[in-house]
Chains A and B, each alone.
Chain A
Amino acid sequence: MKNKTFSKIVSLMLAGVLAVGVSACGSTASTDSSADASADSTTTTDASATDSTDASASSDSASTDAGADLSGNLTAAGSSALLPLVKDASEEFMKKYPNLAITVNGGGSGEGLKQVAAGSVDIGNSDVFAEEKLDADAAKTLVDHEVCTITMAPVVNKDLGVTNLTTDQLVSIFTGKTTNWKDVGGPDEQIMLVTRPSSSGTRALFKQWALNGEEEASNQALETDDSGTLLQNVEQNKGAIGYVALSYLVNNDAVAAVSIDGVEPTLENTYNGTYKVWGYEHMYTNGEGSDNAKAFIDYMMGDEYSAKLEGMGYGVSSKMSQEAVDAHKQ
């Protein structure tokens, strides 16, 4: 067993592994070098070029294929509130253009903005404007596309029995002044705050429009990395309260949404301006973006897809009434 040929073969194998590893790491000059993007893309033929499409493909996306074909990679990351929509749209889009591989990740609005500004993803999803999270120079390089609106709703456990809270009650709960549900008309149960990290767009929107800018009590809240985990926590703990985008509540009655000042968090109330906790969903590209990115965003904002938007809990920007838009101008 200790003969030279065996050790020679082993050292050759190890050298081969090293060589493959080094060469794989070396070919990351192009923008789609982030690990999550290229890991599971099936189209490896044009893996290194994100805009290897035909020039004619980028202009029309709402109509049928007509011979234009998109291929390559497209990566999007960021807001967990927008994630269900982008995932669904990417699946539909990939059905139209089977040679295109779209990878969508979460990570929060702050993450998405950072990554698109750094060039590691093509599209950065965010619930807030880039200027709020990035510095002015980085934000200037990004181009904003407001694809839809999103409504945030406070959620509580189904067994709690609280269906309405006034704004003052909401503020005092989230700033930690009220600690028991019996002080706001609920059962005798300790309030358990479940919240998101400070980089989250969901949290920023909720703070601005539901809490009137008051800062949440981070020293009394459980912090969860994304909306899905937050929902799970609220579902499993009777005294829990958190906040999520409507898109997570659409076919999900595991938790109960709470009305604010008597107004239910629904799309109709968002459109007519009575429910104020909403914001635009932004999809940012670095500069004009690759052809794939432009085609995808046009598809999402086009008529073909907007029919599905509302079904998933997002609002169509054109349906927002003037009262709603004015209420948000400050």
Chain B
Amino acid sequence: MKKNSKGRGGMVVVTICGLFLIALTVTIGVFLFIKGNVTFTTFHHSIGEFLFSSDWNPTDMAGQGGGTVGAAVYIFGSLVTCGLALLIAVPFSLAAAIFITEIAPDAGTRIFQPAIEIFVGIPSVVYGWLGLTILVPFIRDVFHAPMGGYSVLAAGIVLAIMIFPTITTVSADAIRGVPDSYRKASFGLGSTRWQVIWHIVLPAAFPGIMTGVILGLTRAFGEALAVAMVIGKTRAFPANILSPTNNLTAAIAADMGNTANGGEHNAALWTMGLLLFIISIVCIIIIHLISAHNKKKTGMA
């Protein structure tokens, strides 16, 4: 292709923007890494204490250490609420995806899929508000939850509603990507429609569905405001699914502004932020590995 001077300008702008974005991402990562390491370098805590100890009592004066930074309660809260959200959302999402693509493809692509995609545009604070005003009193009244209905269950349901459209749309695309020849071959051998879906289409679409699930998990892990409004922010392990607890994002959102700069509490919150960043990167790497494995196995892009 001949590089003429007219195309040159556009190319330069595009290259600069692209490099800038990459540099920005790397800078954010490096910044988080530096800030997150202060807990371990300046205040001399161990990584094991941060990850596995539940004794959370950091000092909040600038420059002073001496407290404890066991974040196990928050990590456990994040894991439990996201796990519960996946448990609730995945069956519904898969069912919706199958419905859109196999059972009612015309109405699916024209009506249902755009309707589901609207969910993605709703701000998370609205989900939090709905959870606070409708879901929490509901749980309190129907399940007689002890602490006013703020619970792991409420957070799990809110997160499930938030990640449901992500998982559905990605799974629907994955199912559509299964070659029609598979289905025709299976019908030709005498399978019913459900057998085709369950035994042929879903396993073939499995990598794409896993991608959708992990994307949803990443979003659930990083959700701060909606979870903070319904989880109760109690610094203890939840006794059961109806008890309040706290998680990484709600702790950062609630406490970051209140802590003294340069203090131990502040440093520990930065470490939590670093942990969330690392988890997101790990999830995305897993997605890439799955799709690379998929490409090798089936030869389809």
Chain B 286-298 interface mask (CB, 8 Å, partner A; 1/0): 0000000000000
Q: Mark B193-226, 1 if CB is under 8 A from A, else 0.
A: 0000000000000000000000000000000000
B234→A219 contact, CB < 8 A: yes
CB distance B257 to A222 under 8 Å?
no
Expressed in whole angstroms, the Cα–Cα distance for A135 and B63 within the complex equals: 9
Whether A233 touches B257, Cβ cut-off 8 Å, given contacts A218-B235, A223-B234, is no
Q: Which of A81-89, A103-111, A297-305 lies at the interface?
A: A103-111
- Partner of A114 from B63, B150, B244, B260 at Cβ < 8 Å: B260
Contacts of B62 in A (CB 8 A): 134-135, 138
CB distance from A45 to the nearest CB of B (A): 31
Residue A192 is within 8 A (CB to CB) of chain B in the complex: yes
Interface SS, B side: loop
**In the complex, what residue of chain A is closest to B73 when comparing beta carbons?**
A219
Task: Determine the chain A residues whose CB is within 8 A of the CB of B260 once the complex forms.
Answer: 114, 133-135
Interface of A is mostly: mixed
Asked whether, in the complex, the Cβ of A192 is within 8 Å of the Cβ of B146, the reply is yes
Is B60 an interface position by the 8 A CB rule?
yes
Chain A positions within 8 Å of B232 at CB level: 222-223
- Kindly state whether residue B258 has any CB partner on chain A within 8 Å: yes
Q: Are A223 and B233 in contact (CB under 8 A)?
A: yes
Assembly CA distance A108 to B254 (angstroms): 11
Measured in the bound complex, the distance between the Cα atoms of B234 and A197 in whole Å is 11
Chain B residue nearest to A107 (CB atoms) is B257
Question: Is A220 within 8 A of B254, CB to CB?
Answer: no
Binary flags per residue of A57-97, CB closer than 8 Å to B gives 1, else 0: 00000000000000000000000000000000000000000
| CA distance in complex: A107, B60 (Å) | 17
Q: Please judge, given known A-B contacts A114-B260, A135-B61, A192-B147, whether A222 and B234 are in contact too, CB under 8 Å.
A: yes
Number of A-B contacts (CB under 8 A): 57
Q: Is there contact, CB below 8 Å, between B258 and A108? A: yes
Residues of A within 8 A of B261 (CB): 114
In the bound complex, residues from chain B placing their C-beta under 8 Å from that of A114 are 257-258, 260-261
Instruction: State whether the Cβ of B137 lies closer than 8 Å to any Cβ in chain A.
Output: yes
Q: How far is the CA of A218 from the CA of B255 in the complex (A)?
A: 14
Chain B residues whose CB sits within 8 angstroms of the CB of A133 once the complex forms: 260
Residues of B within 8 A of A135 (CB): 61-63, 260
Pick the contact of A222 from B60, B147, B255 — CB < 8 Å?
B147
Contact assessment for A222 and B63 in the assembled complex, using a CB-CB cutoff below 8 Å: no
Contacts of B233 in A (CB 8 A): 222-224
Residues of A within 8 A of B83 (CB): none
**B148 within 8 Å of A (CB atoms):** yes
Docked CA distance A310–B137 (Å): 36
**Distance (whole angstroms) from the CB of B4 to the closest CB of chain A:** 15
Extra contacts besides A199-B259, A220-B236 (8): CB < 8 Å = A108-B258, A114-B261, A134-B62, A134-B260, A135-B62, A220-B234, A222-B244, A223-B254
Q: List 5 A-B contacts (CB under 8 A).
A: A107-B257, A110-B258, A197-B255, A198-B60, A222-B148
